[in-house]
Amino acid sequence: MLMIHREERVMRILIIGGNGFIGKPLVRQLNEQEHSVAVFHRDKCKAALPAEVEEIIGDRRELGNYRGAIQEFAPEVVIDLILSSGKQAEELIETVRGVGSTEGNHRLKSVLPRIVAISSMDVYRACGVFHGSEPGPLEPLPPCRKPHQSNQTHSATAADVPPDMSASFSAAEILP
């Protein structure tokens, strides 16, 4: 089997919280696509990560304390699977600002890596409302425009989400 060295990998991607039901298949798929992947998590998981995947062990609530380890990995993309507040988003931006601009990463054009925040929190809330363990009504689905005449799929954008629905939009990208 041919081993791909770190420098030959496609993109450097840090995944925060990569051991859950979204993270495990995401890590596996990104690794199979020959990206250089590091997972930031609390402790070694019982299910082993692929051998090529690096680990940064730490507490998400103290992300800033791990800036050195994150800078050493020098991600071009950070995928945060456990982002749960505006304060955490601000801390994430401050922690990763400039980490990709090291000597080891000449491809990064910005001092801030691309940040992708993915959350399943609204799914859990909707399930709780449905079963009576969470207060309030179910949130209405955002309107979806019909795709063009071709077989193209439609990707929701911030413009597709009404202002009162922005908090329940379950996947967002924070642009530099």
Gap between the Cα atoms of 45 and 53, Å rounded: 13
CA distance 174 to 145: 23
Q: Model-level pTM greater than 0.75?
A: no
Statement: residue 128 has pLDDT above 70 = yes
- Mean pLDDT throughout 86-104? 81
Q: Which CATH architecture has domain 6-118?
A: 3-Layer(aba) Sandwich (3.40)
Domain extent listing, the chain: 6-118, 121-140+153-174
Find tokens 């209405």 and name the residue.
140
**Interval 43-76: pLDDT, tens:** 866 567 889 999 999 999 999 999 999 999 999 9
pLDDT (0 to 100) of residue 142 = 66
Which spans in the chain are helix H? 23-32, 67-73, 86-96, 121-131
Q: How far apart are the first and last CA of the chain?
A: 38
CA distance 117 to 125: 18
